[in-house]
Amino acid sequence: MSQQRIEVSLAGQKITLATSAEHEPLLRAACVLVDEQIQMAINGGNRSIERASMMAALKIAGDLITLQKNQSQQSTSSNVSSDEVTRLQGEIRALEDQVDALMQTLSLPGSPRPIVP
């Protein structure tokens, strides 16, 4: 992975960063997000870039933590016990057996005899 230099703008300041070609799109998207958050903090009354940058970092970190908690809760709530999986697999097999039995008695139009697998 070779490194390349890219130039981005954060809070109106040009910054040169090193990245790989593979990670460049992600880095550029992250810079856009950070710049937007810094601008929102400045527009919200933070006069210094340093303070606005800290507020932006805290906002992004809070969003990340919230996302991780939501993802963790979704993973926990979607876990199904192995007993439930076994029970459902048994129901599926029983339904498949019923379908097979019905298919053996089914006749196609114009066919004088039942379908036999």
**pTM of the full structure:** 0.60
User: Which residues are 18's β-sheet partners?
Assistant: 5
Break the chain down into helix, strand, coil percent, rounded to 5.
60, 15, 25
The model's confidence at residue 40, banded by pLDDT at 50, 70 and 90, is very high
> What residue segments make up the domains of the chain, in order of their start?
3-77
pLDDT at residue 78 in the model: 64
Residue 15 makes CB contacts below 8 A (sequence gap 6+) with: 7, 8, 9
Judge residue 25's burial from the number of C-beta atoms within 10 Å of its C-beta, 0-12 exposed, 13-18 middle, 19 or more buried: exposed
Range with the poorest average pLDDT among 61-65, 70-74, 100-104 = 100-104
Q: Is 97 helix (H, G, I), strand (E, B) or coil?
A: helix
